[in-house]
Structure 1
Amino acid sequence: MKKLIAILSVAALLFSATSFAADKYGKAIISNQKVLNSFNQEFAGAAKVTWYANEDEKSYVAKFDIKESRVTAHFDDEGNLLATSRVISDSDLPLPVISRLMHRYPNENIRNVVEYTANGSLTYMITLENDTQWKIIKAGADGGLSTVRKLRKA
């Protein structure tokens, strides 16, 4: 009986060790080789990679550093890159976006900018702040602005 338990334990250990890819620290990340290959091809040079898998294992998210930016990338189970996002500074916004923001919201301060890329489209989510509220603004690369949400300060 002890031999059977030992054999089953070794088999379970070998199975679990080969089921997941591991990072350089030996932590389990994901087992989908298509996603890993796609990630490595798209984001060569990425560092500090952390993986998250959706419970149904139909999608994967990688958070990593590349070229001094913290990036989040979303993949489907076939390894297709679905979307990316990263926090950028307001000085990295395109000129049409900055011009329209300054014209439409002259008394607002930019607090946060997140750049999203999905389906070949680039979008910016910008958090503005004044004395009484925050506004979340969606901007296209062409400078088109729309208010997504307004939040009153307490």
Structure 2
Amino acid sequence: MKKMILTLAIAFTALFASANSPFVSRPVENAFNTEFKGATDVAWTIKANYVQVSFLQQNERMVAYYNNDGELIGTSKHISLAKVSNTVKRLLAKKFTNYSVTETILMSARGTDDIYLTIKNEQETLVLKAADNNLSVVEAL
């Protein structure tokens, strides 16, 4: 009996050791390893309907999102405000004069790239979406 329990424990350890988490499915892990070869500092977060994986790729922090079947939903990464179009920066300066940009994120999903900016002043923090050279408030925090 002890041998059987020990054998099962070793089998489960071997089965899940490479996933960094006992809950990451093989399809998700395989898809990630194929899509992001050479990724380091990998951290998995399991949600009800998706899996989030944070990692470094070529010294850049990224986050990838997969459905439970291992299909890539999208990615996100911090970017410099300098990568935002001049039109959007002018709109930002005109419409949100009292605010400073605290975070700029590029989200890529389904073949489109969207830029989200978090801006802040003394009274509030807003999340804006920059699309088609326009700004819209997504959320007030």
Q: Which residue is 1:71 aligned to? A: 62
RMSD of equivalent CA atoms: 2.2
Cα pair 2:24 2:46 within 8 Å, conserved: no
Cα pair 1:59 1:76 within 8 Å, conserved: yes
Q: Which residue is 2:77 aligned to? A: 86
Matched, 1:108 2:108: no
TM-score by length of 2: 0.83
SS of the counterpart of 2:32? helix
Q: Counterparts of 1:149 and 1:32 in 2: how far apart (Å)?
A: 33
- Aligned pair partner of 1:8 in 4, 7, 10: 4
The one-letter amino acid of 1:40's match is: N
Aligned residue pair count: 141
SS of the counterpart of 2:115? strand
The one-letter amino acid of 2:29's match is: L
Q: Which residue is 2:37 aligned to? A: 44
**Structure 2 unmatched runs, 5+:** none
Percent pairwise identity? 25
Deviation at 1:76, TM superposition (A): 1.6
**Structure 1 unmatched runs, 5+:** none
Runs of 4 or more consecutive aligned structure 1 residues displaced over 6 Å after TM superposition: none
Cα pair 1:38 1:79 within 8 Å, conserved: yes
Residues 46-96 of structure 1, C-alpha deviation per residue, up to 9 Å, x if partnerless?
A: 1101112235xx532211011232111011232210011112221222333
Q: Counterparts of 2:22 and 2:113 in 1: how far apart (Å)?
A: 29
Matched, 1:119 2:101: no
SS of the counterpart of 1:20? helix
Q: Counterparts of 2:3 and 2:31 in 1: how far apart (Å)?
A: 36
Deviation at 1:21, TM superposition (A): 4.1
SS of the counterpart of 1:22? helix
Segment of structure 1 superposing worse, 66-75 or 98-107: 98-107
